[in-house]
Amino acid sequence: MPWFRGNWALAGEPLVNSAEAILYNAAFIEAARTAFSASAIRPKTVVVNVNGPMPAGAPHVDVPSFRGAARDHFPLRFLLAMGASELFARWQVTEAGAISWFYEGLGGGFDYWPDGRDGPMLCEQSPFGNVAIIADNDRMYHRIGRIGDADAVLPKMTKAAVVHPSDAGDWIVTEDGETRTTYAKSVMRLSILWKAEIITEDRPTEAENALHLDRIMEIFKSDLRAKRIQHEEPADPFTDDAWITLLEGTYLRSFAR
């Protein structure tokens, strides 16, 4: 899939020149304050996506993080199950996400479900102007709409490929020194994702910050017992596929669209 990414700022630190101008974008910060009734905003992340023609992505929520449980130490599927279960809401780190696009081609809209998966889908469509949507993308379902023609041929490439612009303005996908494909500038969808931690007046107490694996498992198992769902103690809750699959089957509903 021709989906490429760059990290311009992580953990509040700019990684490339001029990233701080985006990290501290006043319009994003003010919108986050309003949307989330925040007392403080901590900009954390600026990532960019460069997408060639490709099918629509799956509706999804972003991987959540919790005080004491984040992707640096916890598997992504485990974190997604924690979020979907709603058992760990008071530990969840709330993040505002702003997305903006540079694309005037066919499709490539930003589809989102502000009223939940059973509500109507809204779409911010190409041609994109100087706009962004800010939302709680850890809780709001969203996806990239199909980009380009439905019969677009996907390039033959592995995850080792990279994309870069040419002097002529095209975008070239290369791997092992070979050109895999060349895209005209007009068919490449560029986007920026900004994320910031939201601080509200009702932040958790220090005691509630103490989320660790034993407590997470205690909470999960208690809920499974209450639901009368049989389960076996996993040897390693992070790598036991049966355990992870049980959590996903219990808490993650499929998106019926």
Contact residues: another protein, CB under 8 A: 1, 3-6, 8, 16-18, 21-22, 25, 27-28, 31, 34-36, 48-50, 75-77, 86, 89, 96, 98, 100, 102, 112, 114, 116, 124, 129-136, 139-140, 157-165, 174, 190, 192, 239, 241, 244
Residue number, 3 or 250, with CB nearest to another protein: 3
Distance CA 175, CA 233 (A): 44
**Identity of the residue, 31 or 211, whose beta carbon is nearer to another protein in the bound complex:** 31
Q: Strands, E, within 176-253: which ranges?
A: 178-183, 189-199
Least separation in angstroms between CB 210 and another protein: 22
Which CB sits closer to another protein, 101 or 216?
Answer: 101
Which residues, 6+ apart, have CB-to-CB distance to 200 below 8 Å? 36, 37, 38, 39, 94
Six token digits for residue 150: 């439905």
In this structure, what token pair is assigned to residue 175?
A: 């791997």
Counting Cβ atoms within 10 Å, is residue 62 exposed (0-12), middle (13-18) or buried (19+)? middle
Query: Rounded CA gap, 163 and 179, in Å?
Result: 10
Shortest distance, position 227 Cβ to another protein, whole Å:
19
Residue 240 beta carbon to another protein: minimum distance, rounded to whole angstroms: 8
Q: Which is nearer to another protein, 22 or 147 (CB)?
A: 22
Residue 76 bridge partners (DSSP): none
Min separation Cβ 134 and another protein, Å: 5
Contacts of 9 (CB under 8 A, 6+ apart): 15, 16, 19, 20, 22, 23, 43, 44, 45, 46
The Cα 143–Cα 122 span in angstroms is: 11
Toward another protein, which CB reaches closer, 96 or 187? 96
Phi/psi at 55 (5° precision)? -65, 165
Closest approach of another protein to the CB of residue 252, in Å: 15
Closest contact distance (angstroms) between CB of 205 and another protein is 20
Shorter beta-carbon distance to another protein: residue 158 or 206: 158
